[in-house]
Structure 1
Amino acid sequence: MTSQEFKSHILIKRPRYANSRIPVIEVLANKGSRRSEYSQFGPIYELYMYAFLLGLKKERRLPLPPRDLTSDFGLEIGRWKRESNLTDFLLMIIFTRNEEIGFDWNDLEDMDEAEITAVVSKIITFMEEYANGGLEYLHELLDKGQLTNSHYMFIDMYK
Structure 2
Amino acid sequence: MTSQEFKSNLLIKRPRYANSRIPIIEILANKGSRTSEYSQFGPIYELYIYAFMLGLKNNLRLPLPPRDLTTDFLELGKWKRDSALVDFLMMIIFTRSEEIGFDWNEMEDMQDADLNIVISKVITFIEEYANGGLEHLHDLLDKGQLENSHYMFIDLYKNVNT
Task: Work out whether 1:35 is the aligned partner of 2:35.
Answer: yes
SS in structure 2 of the partner of residue 110 of structure 1: coil
Task: Work out whether 1:156 is the aligned partner of 2:146.
Answer: no
Using the size of structure 1 for normalisation, the TM-score is: 0.96
1:80 offset after TM fit, Å?
0.4
Q: Which residue of 1 aligns with 2:112?
A: 113
Using the size of structure 2 for normalisation, the TM-score is: 0.94
Q: What is the CA deviation profile of residues 94-135 of structure 1, one whole-angstrom value per residue up to 9, with x for unaligned ones?
A: 100000011111112211111011110000000000000000
Q: Tell which deviates more after alignment, 63-72 or 143-152.
A: 143-152
1:2 offset after TM fit, Å?
2.9
Q: What is the CA deviation profile of residues 131-156 of structure 1, one whole-angstrom value per residue up to 9, with x for unaligned ones?
A: 00000000000111111111111111
1:21 offset after TM fit, Å?
0.5
Letter in 2 for 1:81: K
SS in structure 1 of the partner of residue 71 of structure 2: strand
Counterparts of 1:24-103 in structure 2, within 5 Å, are: 24-73=24-73, 75-103=74-102
Q: Which residue of 2 aligns with 1:5?
A: 5
Q: What is the CA deviation profile of residues 15-57 of structure 1, one whole-angstrom value per residue up to 9, with x for unaligned ones?
A: 0000000010000001221101111122211100010000000
Q: What RMSD in Å do the two structures reach over aligned CA positions?
A: 1.0
User: Matches of 2:115 and 2:133 in 1, distance apart?
Assistant: 27
User: Matches of 1:28 and 1:146 in 2, distance apart?
Assistant: 14
Letter in 2 for 1:38: Y
User: Matches of 2:68 and 2:43 in 1, distance apart?
Assistant: 22
Letter in 2 for 1:119: V
Question: Percent of aligned positions with the same letter in both sequences?
Answer: 79
Letter in 1 for 2:51: A
Q: Which residue of 2 aligns with 1:137?
A: 136
Q: Which residue of 2 aligns with 1:128?
A: 127
Q: Gaps (5+ residues) in structure 2?
A: none
Structure 1 segments of 4+ aligned residues over 6 angstroms from their partners: none
Letter in 1 for 2:49: M
Q: Tell which deviates more after alignment, 83-92 or 133-142.
A: 83-92
